[in-house]
Amino acid sequence: MTIYTGPVFEMARRQFDQIANHIEMPDDERERVFYPKRAVTVSCPIHRDDGSVTVFQGYRVQHHLTLGPTKGGTRFAKTVDIGEVAALAVWMSWKCALAGLPYGGAKGGITVDPRALSSRELEALSRRYIQEMIPFVGPHTDVMAPDMGTDEQVMAWFMDTYSMYQGRTVTEIVTGKPVSAGGTEGRREATGRGVAHLVGRALDRIGLSPQRSTVIVQGFGNVGSVTACALAERGVKVIGVSDHTASYYSPGGLDLSELQRHVACKGSLHGFSSELSIEPEDLMAQRCDILVPAAVERVITHENVSRLRCRILAEGANGPTTPEADEILDQRRDEIFVLPDILCNAGGVIVSYFEWVQGLQQLFWAENEVLSRLHGLLDRTFDQVMARSDRDRVSHRTAALAIGVERVRDAKRTRGLFP
Ligand code: GLU
Q: 82 with 4: CB under 8 angstroms?
A: yes
**99 Cβ inside 6 Å of ligand 1:** no
Q: 106 with 62: CB under 8 angstroms?
A: yes
The pLDDT score that the predictor gives to residue 400 is 98
Counting residues of the chain whose pLDDT is more than 90, the rounded percentage is 99
Summarised one tens digit per residue, pLDDT across range 337-369 is 999 999 999 999 999 999 999 999 999 999 999
Q: What is the 114 CA–ligand 1 centroid distance (Å)? A: 18
Summarised one tens digit per residue, pLDDT across range 18-44 is 999 999 999 999 999 999 999 999 999
Query: What is the C-alpha to C-alpha distance for residues 364 and 241, in angstroms, rounded to an integer?
Result: 35
Query: What is the C-alpha to C-alpha distance for residues 92 and 89, in angstroms, rounded to an integer?
Result: 5
Q: What is the 60 CA–ligand 1 centroid distance (Å)? A: 14
Bridge partners of residue 291, in order along the sequence: 216, 313
**175 Cβ inside 6 Å of ligand 1:** yes
Average pLDDT over residues 239-256: 97
Q: What is the 147 CA–ligand 1 centroid distance (Å)? A: 6
Angle of helix 347-361 relative to helix 187-206, nearest 10 degrees, comes to 140
**142 Cβ inside 6 Å of ligand 1:** no
Catalytic residues: 107
- Whole-model pTM over 0.95: yes
Q: Is the pLDDT assigned to residue 307 strictly greater than 80?
A: yes
Average pLDDT over residues 167-184: 98
Summarised one tens digit per residue, pLDDT across range 75-100 is 999 999 999 999 999 999 999 999 99
Of 107, 137, 191, the one to substitute when testing ligand 1's pocket (max ligand atoms within 8 A of C-beta) is 191
Domain coordinates in residue numbering, the chain: 7-181, 190-344
If pLDDT is split at 50, 70 and 90, which confidence band does 1 have? Answer: confident
Q: 130 with 158: CB under 8 angstroms?
A: yes
Element (H, E) at 292: strand 290-293
The pLDDT score that the predictor gives to residue 349 is 98
Q: What is the 13 CA–ligand 1 centroid distance (Å)? A: 20
Report helix, strand or coil for 111: strand
The pLDDT score that the predictor gives to residue 319 is 97
Of 92, 191, 353, the one to substitute when testing ligand 1's pocket (max ligand atoms within 8 A of C-beta) is 92
Domain 190-344 grouped into CATH 1.10.10.10: no
**352 Cβ inside 6 Å of ligand 1:** yes
Report helix, strand or coil for 370: helix
**221 Cβ inside 6 Å of ligand 1:** no
**71 Cβ inside 6 Å of ligand 1:** yes
The pLDDT score that the predictor gives to residue 18 is 96
User: 234-238 contacts: CB < 8 A, separation 24 or more?
Assistant: 234/196, 234/200, 234/210, 235/209, 235/210, 235/211, 236/199, 236/210, 236/211, 236/289, 236/290, 237/213, 238/214
Which atom of ligand 1 is nearest the CA belonging to 176?
8
Domain 7-181 grouped into CATH 3.40.50.10860: yes
Fold agreement between 7-181 and 190-344: yes
Q: What is the 72 CA–ligand 1 centroid distance (Å)? A: 5
**109 Cβ inside 6 Å of ligand 1:** no
